[in-house]
Structure 1
Amino acid sequence: MDSARPTPGLHEALAYLDSLRAGDLAPQADVPEDDEDASYDTLDALVDQQDAKPTLRPSPDEALTAIAIMRLCHAAESAGPDLLCPRPGLLSLLFVSSHEDRNRVARRHPDLWRRLSLPFPALMIEDPLGRVGAAKDFHARLAGRLLSGNGVLAIVSGMAQLPPELETLVTARATLPPITRRMLALILEYLHPGHDVDLPISENQLGKLAPVALAPVLAAETLDTALTQLRRLEDVARSPNGGPGLDDVYGQPEAVDALRQVVSDLDAWRAGTLPWREVTKSFLLTGPPGTGKTMLAEALARSAGITLVKTSYSDVQKAGHQGDALKALNAAAEQAKTGSPSVFFIDEIDSFYNRNQSSNGYILGMVNGLLTLIDALSATEGVVLVAATNDRARVDPAIVRPGRFDRHIRVGRPIRSGITAMLSAAVADVIPGPDLDRVSEQLVGLSGAEVTALLREARTAARKAGRDLALEDLQAAADRVQPQLGDALMRRIALHEAAHVVAGHAVGLPAATLARISPRGGEVVRPHLNAMTARDIKGMIAAVLAGREAEDIFFGDVTSGAGAGSNSDLAQATSLGIRAECAFAFGPSLSWISPDTPPTLLPTEVRNRVEARLQAGQEEARKIIVQHRGAVERIAAALLEHRELDGAALAGLLDGVEVQADGAVQHVGGHDA
C-alpha cells in the first residue's frame, strides 16, 4: 500500500482499536435526558451496555469510529487546532453533510476526543431543519453556550447560515472529508494482520458510499471476503440506477460538454486535487418541453455515480400551506446534503414565479425561501445545483443571477447529427448509415423525447409483424410523426427562416447560433439581450416579422404559420411592443402596466401605439429583405440542402450583409433564448 506521507490520526485510531481488545475503553456515553443540545435521535444514541463489552475483533461500528478519528484529524490539519478545541467564547464549525456521520460524532465524541488527547469542547449538533424555527432556536442555544464562556464546536449541515453576530466569532471551519482508500486500507490491514491491502475500488467510487455500506467489508472474517464485498460495492457505486448517462445523450453538445466537465471536476475534488471553489457547480437549463432537461440532470448523476434529488414547486406545494411547503423544500435540500456528493435538481423553477410580477404573499415567501436554500446549497461542498425552466423570463431575476447559477445553457431540440447518433445507437446494426441519414433529415425539429418515442413505435411495429426492425418500420414511424412536405412548402419555410437570419443580422442583433427547418416549421436561435433600448425593440420586432414579410415578397401572400400560437412570430412581436409601451416606458407615458395584461384590456391609446410599433417593424423588415434578397435566397438554399446551419455556416453566408448604421447595440447577455 502506498505510504507517501503519514496519515493524520492513524496513531490515535489504532490506539483506539487496541484499547477495545484490551478492554480498557469506557462504555459509550449515554445522552442525559435533560441535555437540550442533543438533537440526534435518542434511540440511536443510547447503546446497550452489552455492546461495550470487549471483543477480540472490533465491530464495523468501532472500525468506522477509528476511521472517523482519521477523518477528524484530516479536517483539523487543514483548519488548525482551534477546530476541535475552540477557545473560550469562540466558535468553530465542522460541516458534516451525512446524518449518519453527525450521529457517529455525537454518540462517540468522548471516545474520539479522548484518543486525540483533547479536552471535550461544548459540542452542539444542528437541529433537523424540517421543523419551523429550528435554525433560530439552534442559533439562540449557540449564543447561550458562548455567553457562558464555553468554546463551542458546532457540527452543522451548512443548510442554515449563521447570523452575522455569530459568524464573527468563528475562528475555524472545515468539512469532514470522505473516507479515503488509504484510511480504509489501513484499517483492513489492522483487521487482517500480515497483508498488504490493495483495494479494488477507486477513490471517487469509495467516496460515493455511505459509511454503513462498508459494514460487510469491515465484518468479513477474511481479507479475501472483505475485498469481494468491496468489489460488489464498486459495481453498485458505478451504476447507482438504470438509465442513460451523459454518453447516451445526443444532440445537446453544449450541455453534455459542460456536465462532463462537472463529472471530471467531481472526481478531482474527491481525490483532493481540486478545491470545491474552482468547480462550476450550478446550471440553469432553459428550453421548451420535451428537450431533455430532466434527462440531462439524471444523466449527470448517473455518469458521476452520485445521488440525484429532484423537487419542483408542485412537489413542495402538495405539502400544504407555506410553512409546510418550505419545510418540504428544505427536507429535499437536506437529503441532497446528506447524500453528498449529489445533484439537486429543481424542475420548472419558473413556477416559483417572479416577485416583481406578483404581490401574492405566498409566492413572495416561497421565492424568498428558495433564494435562501439556493445560497445554502451553493455554499455546500459536493452539491451540484441544476434547475430547469421552459420560460426564463418568468424566473425571478434574483434566482438566475450569476453566483446562484454559474452557467446558463440552452437545451433545444437535438441538432441533426444528434438525431443521427440516436438512430445509429439504436438500429445501426440493422439499417445502413445512408438510410439513417435520410431519416434523420426528415426528423430535424423533433425533440429527443419524440425521437425516442418514434424508435419505440418502430420496434413495436416490427414485433407485431413478427420480424426484426427494418428500415420500413422506421420510415413508417417517421412519416406518421413528421410527414414530409412538398418542395414548394419547404422552400417557403426556408425563405421564412432565412429572412429572420438576415434581418436580425442587419439590425445588429447578436449573431444567430443555429437555424434549421423541418416539416413542422423552423427556428433561428440567437443570444438574447439582457437590456434593451427603444431602437433594440424596433430591430427585434423587424427581425421577428421578417419571415412573414419574406413570404409576401417571394410568394405574394403569407401563411398562417406566423400567427400559430403564443410563441408565434406575431405573438412575439406583439409582446415586444407591449413591453416597450407598458413595462419599459419607451412611449409617452411613464406609468407602468403589467406586460402580462391581455391586449384587449389595455387602454386604447396603448394598443394603438403597440400597433404603430408593429407596423414600423414590418416596414423595416421589408426594406431589409428587398435590399438583401440575394442573401436570403442563399441561406434558404443552404437550409434546403442541409436542413440545419450552425453559427459559423451562417456567418459565411451573411458575408456582404452589413449592419445598418443605426442598428441595435450588441450588448449581449450571453445566454441563448
Structure 2
Amino acid sequence: MMTKTAPPAEVARAPSGPAIIDGTTPAHQAVRNIVADLAACQAGDLNWSEMSRSLLVHGAPGTGKTYLARQLSEAAGVAVVEGSFADWQAAGHLGHMLAAMIKCFDEAIAKVPCVLFVDEIHAAGSRFGSDQHGMSYRTQVVNGFLQQIDRLARTPGLILIGACNQVSRLDPAITRPGRFDQILRMPFPSIADIKRILAKGLANTLPESEIDILARAAVGKTPAELDAALRAAAADARRQRLSMSSDLLRRHLGIDQPNPELLRRIAVHEAGHALAAELLVRGSVVKLSLSDRDGRIERRSTFVELTVQEIENELLILMAGRAAERLVLGTISGGAGGDGDSDLALATGLVLQMDRELGIGRNGDGWLGPADMHRLTEEEKQRVRAKLGRAERKAYALLGSRKDTLVNISNDLVLRREMNASALAQWVGGTPFELVSPTPEDTA
C-alpha cells in the first residue's frame, strides 16, 4: 500500500520525546532544546517569553531542513503547518501571494501549540539587491513576511522554523535580531550521521563493519540522497529476489566506481587549505571531508580585527588548495573555481572589499560600495590577478617547507574520508607559522 501524506496541520498522535531528533549538528541540538523548553513551558515551569521560539536553518538542498521541522513536531506532540514562498507565489499576483501567506500563518495560529515551517525563504528576495527589476514587488513581499513573523512573536505556543539554501540572499531585516532567535547552518552529514541513517535502513541486513565502510564512501551525500538510494536498492532487491548487498547500495548511491586520481587530487587540494590554515591560525580547522566528487573544509573565521595581515593570511589559505595541487601533482585543476562560494570567488571578493569597502586598499579611506563583478575595470581585474598570484606563490612557499606533512594529510584523508581537528593536529604539530608583515606591494 502506498503511504499517504498526512494533512499539513495534523497533530502527532503521541509525543515520542526528543530522542527521535538524533542528528549531531548544532541545528539538531537547537531543536532538542526547543522541544525541552516547550514541554517545560506547557508544564508551567518556564515562561513563554524565556524560551527560544524560532530557528532559521540554511544549507544545501536535501540536507534535512524540512525533516528537522517534522521531527520537532513529532517529538513535541504538536501540529505542524508547512508553507513555502514557492507555493505562495504560485497563487498568482502580489495580492493573491500575500493572501496565501497570511492564510498559512492564520492556520498555524489556529492550531496552537504548533510548529510553522516556512521553506524557500530566499525566494522572498532582498530590498537591497543590485537587481532593481521588480523591487516594488520584493519590498511588499518582504514587508508582508516581516509583519507575519511579528504576529507569531505575540502568539504563545507557536514555534517558527524557517529554511533557505543561501542565507546571504536574504533581506537583512529577516536575519536581524528579533526575527529569528537562532540562525544555524545545516551541513552535509558527518560519517557518524551517515552511518546512523544507513543503519536505520539496513537494520538486520548488513553487518556493522560493512555499514562503516559504506558510510565512509558515502561522505558528501545528503540525507535525501541516502534515503532515496536505500529505497531504490531495497526495491531492486525485492524485485530481483536478492538479498540487500553493499554493491547494490553503492550502485544506487553512485559510489561504485570511484576515481582514485580524482580522489587524490581533491584530497591534496583540501589538505593544502587545512595545513595552511593551521600553520597561520592554529585551531581554525574544524573538519575536512572527502567524497568521490568533491571535498569540503569547515573552519572558524580567521578574522578578529580585520587587519591587512589577517586578510593576507586568508587570501593565502584560499589559494593554498591550488598551490598544493601544483606542488604535489605538478598541475592544477579548475577545482578552486566555480560558483560564488569557490576559493577564487571568495578571494576575489576579499581583494575588492579591501579596495572598495574596507578603506585598507588601493582607494585609501574611500568607500566605493560593493563591486559589480560584471563591470570591473581593467585596473581592478589586473589588481585581483596580481594579488591572487602573490597569495598563491606565498602558499606554495609555505606548503613547500612542509610538503611531507601535506602528503601525509592528503593520504590519511583518502583513507578516513573525514578528519576532525584532533586527527589533523596529529600531523601538523609544532607551533603556528607567522607570516612576515605585509609589504607595500601587498597594500598598494
**TM bin (shorter chain):** 0.7 to 0.9
Name the structure 1 match of 2:351: 577
How does the TM-score come out when normalised to structure 1? Answer: 0.58
Q: Where in structure 2 are the equivalents of 1:461-500 lying within 5 Å?
A: 461-478=236-253, 480-481=254-255, 483-486=257-260, 488-500=261-273
* 1:6-155 paired onto structure 2 within 5 Å: none
2:175 aligned residue (400, 404, 407): 400
Give the match for residue 449 of structure 1: 224
Q: 2:32 aligns with which of 257, 260, 269?
A: 260
* Matched residue SS, 2:128: helix
Match of 1:139 in 2: none
Inter-CA distance 416–337: structure 2 relative to 1 (3 Å threshold)? same
Q: Matched residues, percent identical? A: 33
2:151 is the counterpart of 1:362: no
> May I ask how many residue pairs the two structures share in their alignment?
424
Instruction: For 1:364, give the aligned amino acid.
Output: T
Kept after mapping to 2: 8 A contact 1:378/1:385: no
Query: Which residue identity lines up with residue 186 of structure 2 in the other structure?
Result: V
Change (3 A) 1:344 1:449: same
Deviation digits for residues 372-415 of structure 1 (CA, Å, limit 9, x no counterpart): 32233233221112112221222222321233222222211111
Aligned to 2:13: 236
1:473 CA displacement: 2.1
The separation in 1 between residues aligned to 2:121 and 2:283, in whole angstroms, is 26
1:114 is matched with none
Could you tell me which of 145, 160, 167 is aligned with 1:385? Answer: 160
Do residues 289 (structure 1) and 55 (structure 2) align?
no
Q: Alignment partner for residue 299 of structure 1, among 52, 71, 77?
A: 71
Alignment partners' CA distance in 2, 1:326 and 1:490: 48
Aligned CA distance change for structure 1 residues 644 and 523 (closer, same or farther; 3 Å): same
Question: What's 2:289 paired with?
Answer: 516
Contact 1:246 1:256 in 2 (8 A): no
Matched residue, 2:194: 419
Contact 1:551 1:558 in 2 (8 A): yes
Counterpart of 2:274 (choices 495, 498, 501) is 501
Given that 2:287 and 2:418 are in contact with CA atoms closer than 8 Å, whether structure 1 keeps it comes out as yes
Kindly state the Cα deviation for residue 298 of structure 1 after the two structures are TM-superposed.
1.7
By how many angstroms is 1:662 displaced?
Answer: 6.6
Task: Determine which of 609, 613, 621 is the counterpart of 2:395.
Answer: 621
1:554 is matched with 328
Separation (CA, whole Å) in 1 of partners of 2:205 and 2:56: 38
Q: Is the 8 A contact 1:442 1:484 kept in 2?
A: no
Alignment of 1:306-385 (within 5 A): 306-358=78-130, 359=132, 360-385=135-160
Change (3 A) 1:569 1:321: same
Q: Which of these residues, 632, 635, 640, is aligned with residue 409 of structure 2?
A: 635
Provide the C-alpha distance between the structure 2 equivalents of 1:391 and 1:542, rounded to a whole number of angstroms: 25
Alpha-carbon displacement from aligned partner over 1:184-217 (angstroms, at most 9, x marks no partner): xxxxxxxxxxxxxxxxxxxxxxxxxx9xx9xxxx
Residue type of the alignment partner of 2:259: L
1:226-252: CA deviation from partner (whole Å, max 9, x where unpaired): xxxxxxx9x83548xxxxx97566654
Post-superposition Cα deviations, 1:49-104, rounded to whole Å, max 9, x if no partner, equal xxxxxxxxxxxxxxxxxxxxxxxxxxxxxxxxxxxxxxxxxxxxxxxxxxxxxxxx
Change (3 A) 1:482 1:558: farther
Shift of residue 509, structure 1, vs aligned partner: 8.4
On the 8 A contact 2:272/2:399 being kept in 1, the answer is yes
Return 606-615 or 466-475, whichever deviates more: 466-475
Q: Which has the higher contact order (CA 8 A, sep 6+)?
A: 2
Q: Distance in 1 between matches of 2:437 and 2:63?
A: 33
Q: Distance in 1 between the 2:309 and 2:171 partners?
A: 26
Determine the structure 2 residue equivalent to 1:15: none
Query: Does structure 2 conserve the Cα–Cα contact (< 8 Å) formed by 1:266 and 1:304?
Result: yes
SS of 1:660's equivalent?
Answer: coil
Residue 205 of structure 1: aligned partner: none
Counterpart-to-counterpart distance in 1, 2:437 and 2:147: 41
Pairs within 5 Å for 1:171-182: none
Moved more, 346-355 or 626-635: 626-635
Offset at residue 425 of structure 1 (A): 1.2
Question: For residue 434 of structure 1, what is the aligned residue in structure 2?
Answer: 209
By how many angstroms is 1:583 displaced?
4.8
**What does the per-residue CA deviation read over 1:515-554, in whole Å, with 9 as the maximum and x for residues that have no partner?**
1112112100124469845444433222122111101011
For structure 1, which runs of at least 5 residues remain unmatched after alignment?
A: 1-209, 214-232, 240-244, 665-673
Residues 414 and 448 of structure 1 are in contact (CA less than 8 Å); yes or no, is this contact kept in structure 2?
yes
Closer, same or farther: CA 472–324 of 1 in aligned 2, 3 Å: closer
**Counterpart-to-counterpart distance in 1, 2:280 and 2:388:** 15
Q: Which residue of 2 aligns with 1:110?
A: none
Which deviates further from its counterpart, 573-582 or 517-526? 573-582
Provide the C-alpha distance between the structure 1 equivalents of 2:283 and 2:124, rounded to a whole number of angstroms: 29
Q: Tell me how far apart the structure 2 counterparts of residues 523 and 420 of structure 1 sit (CA, whole Å).
A: 19
Q: Which string of whole-angstrom CA distances, capped at 9 and with x for unpartnered residues, describes residues 255-295 of structure 1?
A: 22221221111111111111112212221212111111111
2:442 aligned partner = none
Q: In structure 2, what is the Cα distance between the partners aligned to 1:628 and 1:445?
A: 28
User: Highest Rg: 1 or 2?
Assistant: 1
In the superposition, relative to structure 1, how do residues 295 and 636 fare at CA in structure 2: closer, same or farther (>3 Å)? same
Contact 2:255 2:292 in 1 (8 A): no
Please give the per-residue CA displacement for 1:23-61, whole angstroms capped at 9, x wherever unaligned. xxxxxxxxxxxxxxxxxxxxxxxxxxxxxxxxxxxxxxx
